[in-house]
Structure 1
Amino acid sequence: MRIALLGLALGLLLLRALPLLPPRWVLLTLALLALPLLLTRLHPLGFALLGFAWACHSAQMAVDDRLDRSLDGRVVWLEGRVVGLPEPQDGSLRFQLEQAHSRRGVLPARLRLSWQGAPDMRAGERWRLAVKLKRPRGLVNPQAFDYEAWLLARRIGATGSVKTGERLEAATGIAAWRDQLRTALLATPAQGRAGTIAALVLGDGSGLEASDWRLLQDTGTVHLLVISGQHIVMLAGLLYAAVAWLARRGLWPRGWPWLPWACAVAFAGALGYGLLAGFDVPVRRACMMVGVVLVWRLRFRHLGVWTPLLMAMCAVLLAEPLASLQPGFWLSFAAVGLLAWTFAGRLGAWNPWRTWWRAQWLLALGLFPLLAGLGLPLSLSGPLANLLAVPWVSAVSVPLSLAGTLLLGIPYLGDGLCWLAGGSLVALFAVLECIAAWLPAWIPVAFPLWSGVLAGLGALVLLLPAGVPVRLLGSFLVLPILFPMLDRPAPGRAEVWMLDVGQGLSVLVRTRDHVLLYDAAARHGEFDLGEKVVVPSLRALGVAQLDLMLLSHADNDHAGGALAVKKALGTGRVISGDVAGLPARLGAKPCVASDWEWDGVRFATWRWSAARNGNEGSCVLSVEANGERLLLTGDMGRAAEAAWRAEHEEPVDWLLAPHHGSRSSSSAAFVQATRPRAVLISRGWGNAFGHPHPEVVQRYRTAGALLYDSAETGAVRIRLGAFDEPLKLRDHARFWREK
């Protein structure tokens, strides 16, 4: 049985690694071949083929449910019902819509929409909306968050922005009840932590500030403040223990067998908590895991601990094969597996404190390769933070929050319990702030698959019982991801990355021993692309500190993320063509004409001295390596282009299209003067400005230049001085990724 489950799990998990989905006739053939194998000794292979065929078929259904290309970028009127809790964010409202239909065409089953300045909207309501729809599309950068995979895993077939709308039907059902409960919780006197209580009770994280999320990430405690498997398991465990305690004390009715009742009550509690939290994918996964474990406890304990774990994994993946696209799936099963690996078969008993401490550092060590492989930040303070926070949240904050929620209808009692819950959370965050200030999160350098596999094996070896001779070998196996071999440019060469930052700009230029960042992307309210995209990408590329941050000018799409970058990486110098428009904390100095050399690579800056605005005063950077030249132009327009031409006549190999390819720049005279071999365009997909303008695109193509558009290519890497083809990250095929 265990081998069959293992085969099924491997077949289902293989979906995660596929660059493309096989045609349906191939899947049907595999399924037909699997059926006779189930009756032979090769039945594990048969189960693997069936699992693979089902996973691919389910994924194809999700891919096919994406918005029709004919509606991409168009404003359509549609009707649908709001599902889940709408999330207020930076003056807008984000929500999901289901049962949507329009006269313009068939719509996906689920839409994710935003509405700037939205009216009061409740879960369960039905609305008629005018929406500009887009096919799912995200930024593609080195080891950054994969938004397209996140959308597909939730089977969201389109995103969009609402222009206007009207309510057609009031909210009804459990969705409306959850929304009303959230409103009641947010109105409680919870010492400023009402939003955090809503996260614990309802799984609604919209009440947490961006600073809260950073703090939780730095301390590895994100899983504590949103409803996760831990909360479901904790409640189920408490209910099971309560029934067992009553039975041992003779207080349980003798006519009711305590074990079946304990399992039933525990599972009912898990389901109830799951429904309270909206029964989202992670919650459904946790409930299924709890159900499988309880069935194992009731009837199949003789099968050991690995069989129920495999059963739970197969159950989760059969119900939702796309769960393997979510990091939470891998982390939850890996954590349970590590605990089973490290504690099963140990001789002798440990006291509770020693057991709890060992569990924390064993999980930190065992999950380290997986977290690094998934591109997630690693919290060096996580073991200590969780050692204190997990029991506090589980034994104090969650029980008080749930009790306060259940008793909200009783005057003073419900509010009083929520006040106590808020106080417990205030104390928790104060402790976490001290820990985070001591050891913030660390983003590892990207590493090849082979070193990740070795590190995973090394972690398992290190977790073997004390006295096993090969444990020391595990330390050496982990070293390749702790100290990766960085691919530094040779002397006289440079590595250039145009990051995919949407409607903005950020370009990394790295020589053998120096690093320069040209612009730092945008910041939109609490969402800082400097923090969310630029910093993780630079960390993954092995950049620990910047020698120079050059901000072409002060516009948000070029300099909005600069403070976050400087805080995270540190910067030797900051210069800009528009110092007055930048925050004083950056300590920026004016851009002046200058030239210098780093590791055999020549750099030169230029700024039009007669510029009358920030765009025209953009600081221009020229980089030359082994005779190959790159020109970064910021947002300069035609007047600044004319001034540049008056002082420079040499052509360039790589040109960053001025002002994202707008019609007000890239004049015919400038294109003729630069005669670029290739042109880089940094812009957002379907942006409201129409960048790049068709006339500009045609002008460059007529000049014989190749175009590399970040919206179509993702991040682009150029080995300046090698005169070879660039690397386009969107060319790395993933079945969920748009071309």
Structure 2
Amino acid sequence: MFGKACAASLLGGVCAVVFAPVLLPVAIAWCGLVVGAAAWSAWPRGRWCGGLLLGAGWAALHGHAGLALQLPAAATPAEHALRGRVLDLPHHGERSTRFRFRIDDDAGMPVSLRGREVVLGWHDPVRPDASQGRHALRAGARWSLVARLRPPRGLRNPGGFDAERQALLQGVAGSGYVTAPHRARALGPPTGLPAWRERMAQAIAEQVRGEGRRFVQALALGDTRGLTARDWEDLRALGLTHLVAISGFHVGLVAAVAAWMAALAWRLLPVLGRYWPRPLAAALAAVAGAALYAAVAGFALPTVRTVLMIAIVAAARCTRRRVTVGQALAMAALAVLLFDPLSVLAPGFWLSFAGVLWLVWCLPGTDRHWLAAFLGAQGVATVSLLPLTVAWFGQASRAGPLVNLLAIPWWSLVVVPLALLGTALEALYGGAGRWPWQLAAWCFDTSWWLFGHVARRPFALWWLPQAGPAALVLAVAGVFWLLMPRGGGGRLPALALCLPLLWPARPLPADGEVELLVVDAGQGLAVLIRTRTHALLYDAGPAVPGGFDAGERVVVPALHALGTPVLDRVLLSHGDLDHVGGLAAVRRSHPEARLLAPSGALSMPAAVCRRGDGWRWDAVDFRLLHPPAGQGGRGNAASCVLRITTPHGAILLPGDIGRREEAALLAQDAPGLAARVVVVPHHGSAGSSTPGWVDAVAPELALVSAGHGNRFGHPRDEVVARWQARGAEVLSTADSGALRVWLGQDGLQVREQRLFQPRWWDAAERARATAILSTVKQAAAGPEG
């Protein structure tokens, strides 16, 4: 009744709702639940239909509940005096700290925030002597503080991370930052499991030396705060990210050890068997050990899946019922879907359950030699999970299959047990974990030295362009065909089904045409320009030292998602951090790119941007209009102005020039400024876009790169109105996400990322809908005729 078919039908209903662009209304969701329950109970042959309806209704209700937990999408940022508890390990950066905070559920807190969780940043003030408060934050401690909160809002780009989806999955009501550090007060000492995890992490930091220390923290406690951006790049290139954080395999290992220790105790003390049978004790010990270790990891989804499967097998053992691995997996999936159907939005759900499902289906036998079984399992996991890995992350590790053959046994059977032994001993007596931890770090370092060399080879990581959902379905079917145990009538057709995902079509401009992508980089600028055989990046996006790096998180993933393996040039308009902050990440990803910038704008060698210089790519002309020879510097006035001319019109990128530079360009060649597309100067500030400049450019499309709710108020209303009055359509990345423009034989075309890939949790679209509804209500309430 609650087997594989039930899990499959429930999963189908959940996915049909969760991956739809619009969420089902509450009334329809309740109808689905009622009708589905009736079909399930009264129509045995139609239980699959009942499961679909139950899954759809249940997922829709959870979706509405998740959105209701958040601050209204149209709410403006506001300050609040808050009391609450630091939920997890704070991430201390060079100049800021980021942490999750659960607000107290009492009458003293704002009604809309009671009992909610928010993500806060605590940034260092200008005065260095007042920057120590944030370092006193401890997991599990209660604090009183003042914070400026806003609804969850993220960037939307091709291949980019969906922060709004992540906030929905984590139950985060909003984000913000501490606005009055001098008023922040600790109300109580750290308590609970988060406080214990932080104490253990600190003990490892104090007692272990070397690079392996941060990895021991990750493997023993699930604490990945110490891992650097370079560490994550290497782990992705090696296909080892699944082993660093506490994984399902590690939970199963702990459960096996706990069961073995309980069985040993019952053998040594037979009298215990009078009260509890040995199999029952071993089963309960396995569940307890797995649950405890999963709690240490913060109940990540792979660990929850493993705990549920172990609990189901243990229950069957206690009741003397036979349960296959497939049945246990189905019941675990049912439990996860019933508890949180939105978990299907997380890649961990699919990688976790699909990995076990493929192994069960492809390797059902148990009479194989252990080495053959291990090699077979590794091969099946590599091939079967490739489509999901590419679809979710846009990359695959070429070195992963070989590296995992070494890392899985060495890390999981040597490093992890030593790290856990040290943690257990340290919990019993302070300082007792030193030697196991140090030995674990040494064992890790011996392998990491070798793996690090492999990760830095160009062949290690394979980036793939973004493909559509149909390509994923075909690739999964191809893998199914390829891995059929008895053969499927030839492997070439199976491989052919995988081609649309692994080598998707990349439509590029023809000669004389140009494609432009204004990246949604927040309060900064990064623009990708492509012709038929060349690519130019104009600015690299913002970055904060020790914090968000748009180059790493936004620009580079967008380049890979669009299939841009080679970058010919990187043109930096000027030296401000909101334009060059992401350059280091871009250079690591595309070291072949030639740098071009105003004189003195960069601290590294670069060709000088001068008025009059230019080049020609694929019948498209690129010409620099500013600054004149001899003028340079890092400021806005030195911005490198680029004009791109095609047979179908021109595109103008003016950087952050102001009214003085606009006047100089108008005096120099006003007719030469006309363009069909313009990136609005200086993010739409009031110091640019003068009436004369707007009239001379006279574009059809004006694009603004600005962060949502930025403190500068960009783009200014009067600036937007000025461009609109001249007949231009004005689009902003803050509202539309990344803006992709094509200029060619088919005319001028534009694609807004948020509209092209709609999501029912999209904050910008929900805020837009709220504004429309508010206008309708106001009109309805107004006087007639």
The TM-score by the shorter chain falls in which range? Answer: over 0.9
SS in 1 for 2:714: coil
Residue from 661, 672, 686 that aligns with 1:640: 661
Q: 1:83 aligns with which of 84, 87, 96?
A: 87
Query: Is structure 2 residue 761 aligned with structure 1 residue 736?
Result: yes
Partners of 1:410 and 1:247 in 2: CA distance: 26
Partner of 2:597: 576
1:157 is paired with a residue whose SS is: strand
1:1-43, Cα deviation, whole Å (9 max, x unpaired): 3323321222233333121111111111112212321211212
Give unmatched runs, 5+ long, in structure 1.
Answer: none
Task: Tell me how far apart the structure 2 counterparts of residues 645 and 673 of structure 1 sit (CA, whole Å).
Answer: 8
Q: Judging changes above 3 Å, is the alpha-carbon distance between structure 1 residues 471 and 258 closer, same or farther for their aligned structure 2 residues?
A: farther
Residue 542 of structure 1: how far off its partner (Å): 1.1
2:203 is equivalent to residue 184 of structure 1: yes
**Aligned match of 2:768:** none
- What is the count of residue pairs matched by the alignment? 735
Q: Deviation of residue 523 (structure 1)? A: 2.4
Cα offset, 1:153, TM superposition: 0.5
Deviation at 1:209, TM superposition (A): 1.8
Q: Is residue 315 of structure 1 aligned with residue 335 of structure 2?
A: yes
Aligned position for 2:10: 8
Choose from 250, 253, 268 the match for 1:231: 250
Q: Deviations over 1:223-268 (max 9, x none)?
A: 2121222221221133335556788999896544333222211110
Shift of 1:70: 6.9
- Map of 2:150 onto structure 1: 134
Return the TM-score normalized by structure 2. Answer: 0.89
2: CA distance, partners of 1:418 / 1:545: 44
Alignment-derived partner of residue 329 in structure 1: 349
- Deviation digits for residues 634-691 of structure 1 (CA, Å, limit 9, x no counterpart): 1111111112112222321111111111122112221122122221111111122222
Aligned residue in 2 for 1:618: 639
SS of equivalent residue, structure 1 residue 407: helix
Match status 1:709 vs 2:736: no
1:501-554 superposed Cα distances (whole Å, 9 cap, x missing partner): 111111111111111111111222344321221111111111110122211112
Contact 1:497 1:509 in 2 (8 A): yes
Counterparts of 2:758 and 2:111, CA distance in 1:
29
1:400 maps onto 2:418 in alignment? yes
Worse overlay, 145-154 or 4-13 = 4-13
1:546 aligns with 2:550: no
Which residue number corresponds to residue 176 of structure 2? 160
**Aligned letter for 2:374?**
W
Task: Report the Cα offset of residue 219 of structure 1.
Answer: 0.8
User: Cα–Cα, structure 1 residues 668 and 225, in superposed 2: closer, same or farther, change >3 Å?
Assistant: same
| Alignment of structure 1 residues 410-449 onto 2, 5 Å | 410=429, 413-438=432-457, 439-449=459-469
CA distance in 2, matches of 1:106, 1:4: 38
Q: Does the residue aligned with 2:682 lie in a helix, a strand or coil?
A: helix
Aligned to 2:586: 565
What is the CA–CA distance in structure 2 between the aligned matches of 1:72 and 1:286, rounded to whole Å? Answer: 42
58-67 or 88-97, which moves further after superposition?
Answer: 88-97
Match of 1:64 among 18, 43, 68: 68
User: Offset of 1:49 from its aligned partner?
Assistant: 1.0
Structure 2 CA distance, aligned partners of 1:423 and 1:241? 27
Which amino acid is 1:360 matched to? Answer: Q
Q: For the structure 1 residues 435 and 361, does the alpha-carbon distance in structure 2 shift closer, same or farther, using more than 3 Å as the test?
A: farther
**Cα distance, 1:456 vs. partner?**
1.0
Partners of 2:356 and 2:214 lie apart in 1 by: 29
User: Which of residues 712, 721, 724 in structure 2 aligns to 1:698?
Assistant: 721
Q: Distance in 1 between matches of 2:110 and 2:678?
A: 41
> Are residues 1:217 and 2:236 paired?
yes
Structure-to-structure mapping, 1:90-129, within 5 angstroms: 90-100=94-104, 105-107=111-113, 109-117=116-124, 118-129=134-145
Contact 1:63 1:736 in 2 (8 A): yes
Amino acid at match of 1:675: A
Question: Which is worse superposed, 618-627 or 602-611?
Answer: 602-611
Letter in 1 for 2:750: P
Change in 2 beyond 3 A, CA 1:158/1:517:
same
Equivalent residues of 2:394, 2:466 under 8 A apart: no
Relative to structure 1, the CA distance from residue 293 to residue 104 in structure 2 (aligned partners, 3 Å threshold; closer, same or farther) is same
User: Residue 636 of structure 2: SS of its match in structure 1?
Assistant: coil
Partner SS state of residue 84, structure 1: coil
Percent same amino acid at aligned positions? 35
Per-residue deviation, 1:448 = 2.2
Residues 252 and 258 of structure 1 are in contact (CA less than 8 Å); yes or no, is this contact kept in structure 2?
A: no
Tell me by how many angstroms 1:422 deviates: 1.6
How far does the alpha carbon of each residue in 1:360-391 deviate from its partner, in whole angstroms, 9 at most, with x for none?
A: 22211111111111134311111112111111
In structure 1, how many angstroms separate the alpha carbons of the residues matched to 2:397 and 2:516? 29
Shift of 1:107: 1.4
**Partner Cα separation in structure 1 for residue 233 and residue 465 of structure 2:** 20
- Alignment match, 1:531: 552
Bigger Cα displacement from structure 2, 493-502 vs 598-607:
598-607
Q: Quote the residue 2:307 is aligned against.
A: 287
CA RMSD of aligned residues (A): 2.4
Whether 2:519 is the aligned partner of 1:515: answer: no
Structure-2 separation of matches of 1:6 and 1:466: 24
Mapped to 2, the partners of 1:471 and 1:399 lie a distance apart of: 41
8 Å contact kept, 1:69–1:135: yes
**2:782 aligned residue:** none
The aligned amino acid for 2:155 is L
Give the letter aligned to residue 593 of structure 1.
G
Q: What letter corresponds to residue 178 of structure 2 in structure 1?
A: V
Counterpart AA for 1:402: L
Aligned to 1:213, the other structure's residue is in SS state helix
Residue 628 (structure 1) aligns with: 649
Whole-angstrom distance in 2 between the partners of 1:251 and 1:389: 40
Change (3 A) 1:672 1:125: same
User: Distance between the aligned counterparts of 2:544 and 2:316, measured in 1?
Assistant: 49
- Aligned: 1:271 with 2:271: no
* TM-score, normalised relative to structure 1: 0.94
Separation (CA, whole Å) in 2 of partners of 1:632 and 1:735:
33
Task: Give the partner amino acid of 1:660.
Answer: H
Name the CA distance, whole Å, in 2 between partners of 1:489 and 1:263: 62
Separation in 2, partners of 1:511, 1:574 = 18
Kindly state the Cα deviation for residue 708 of structure 1 after the two structures are TM-superposed: 0.8
Give secondary structure in 2 for the equivalent of 1:95.
strand
For structure 2, the residue ranges without an aligned partner over 5 or more in a row are 125-133, 766-785
Q: What is aligned with 2:494?
A: 474
Native 8 Å contact 1:628 1:723 kept in 2: no
SS in 1 for 2:614: strand
> What secondary structure sits across from 1:206 in the alignment?
coil
Any idea what the Cα deviations from partners look like across 1:388-415, whole Å, max 9, x if unmatched?
1111121111111111122225476421
Conserved? CA contact 2:101–2:118, under 8 Å:
yes
- State the shift of 1:161 in Å: 0.7
Secondary structure of the 2:670 match is coil
Contact 1:82–1:97, Cα closer than 8 Å, also in 2: yes
Corresponding residue for 2:372?
A: 354
Q: How does 1:646-685 map to 2 (within 5 A)?
A: 646-650=667-671, 651-685=674-708
CA distance in 1, matches of 2:61, 2:176: 27
Q: Is the 8 A contact 1:71 1:133 kept in 2?
A: no
| Paired letter, 2:389 | L
Equivalent position to 2:26, from 24, 28, 33:
24
Query: Within 5 Å, which residues of 2 pair with 1:482-497?
Result: 482-497=502-517
Q: What CA distance in whole angstroms lies between the structure 2 residues aligned with 1:175 and 1:169?
A: 14
Q: Secondary structure at the match of 2:595?
A: strand
3-state SS of 1:5 partner: helix
What's the CA shift string for 1:313-337, capped at 9, x where partnerless? Answer: 1111111112111111111111101
CA offset digits 1:145-199 (Å, max 9, x no partner):
1111111111111011112222223333333333333322322124343332222
CA contact (8 A) 1:595 1:602 kept: yes
1:298, distance to aligned residue in structure 2 (A) = 5.3
> Residue 686 of structure 1: SS of its match in structure 2?
coil
SS at structure 1 position matched to 2:233: helix
Distance 1:480 1:573 in 2: 32
